[in-house]
Amino acid sequence: MRDLPYLIKGFVESNPSWGVAGFVDVETTGLSPYAEEIVELALVLFAFDRATGEIAGIVDEYVGLREPDKPIPPEATAVHGITGDLVRGKRLDDARVAELVARAEFLVAHNAAFDRAFVERLYPFVSLKPWLCSMRGIDWRGRGFPSRGLQNLLRAHRIEVRRAHRGEDDVKAALRLLATRDAAGRPYFRELLSSLGEQGQAAQA
C-alpha cells in the first residue's frame, strides 16, 4: 500500500461525513510512565469516513524531540536510536500539541495504555479525549496474525518502515496498516472505529 496522501486544507470541513482523529506514538527512556520520560512524540491527524472507516489521508502532523531530565539508557537507545546528543536542548511545542489534540475527535495508539500514560503526564488534557488501541481494539489473532505487535503486523502486511521505533515512521506505517482492507474489503480501521461506540455506551451505563 502506498503512503497516505496529505489532504488539502478544507477537505474535512467540506465533507461532513469525514471525521478527524489523531494517531499518537511516543519514544521514551524506558517502560514505566512514572519513572521514565518521553524523548520523542509524534501526533498525526488523519481524516476518516465515519460510516465505512476508510482513511482518506493526513490532515496535519507534529513530531518533536524532548531532552529528558535523566540520561537516555543505552538499552532504550538500542530500541529507538535516539541519543542524548540528538535531544540536547530540545523541547516539545506544547501549544502545537494542544492545538492538534483539540482538533481530534479521539486519539489512537498502538498499545494505547503505554502511550496514553506517558502523554497524560505531560499533557493532562489528553485524558478528556477518548482513546482507541489499534493493538487490542482489532482482533488480529482472530484474523490469523499470531502477533499483535506493530512491527510484526507491518511485516505481515509488507508495509516497510524506514526507521522502526521512531515516532513519525511508526505512526504513518500504522495508519497505512489501519487503512488496509481485509478479505471482505473493509478497512481494519472500521473494526477499531466500532469500539468507539462501545466506549460511549459504557460511559452512559
Nearest Cα to Cα of residue 53 among 197, 194, 200, 201: 194
86-132 pLDDT, tens digit per residue, is: 999 999 999 999 999 999 999 999 999 999 999 999 999 999 999 99
Q: By the 8 A CB rule, do 58 and 44 touch? A: yes
Q: How many helices (H) and strands (E) does the chain have?
A: 7, 5
Q: Where is pLDDT greater, at 195 or 52?
A: 52
Domains of the chain: 18-194 (3.30.420.10)
Axis-axis angle for helices 167-179, 188-204 (nearest 10):
100
26-52 pLDDT, tens digit per residue, is: 999 999 999 999 999 999 999 999 999
pTM (global) more than 0.85: yes
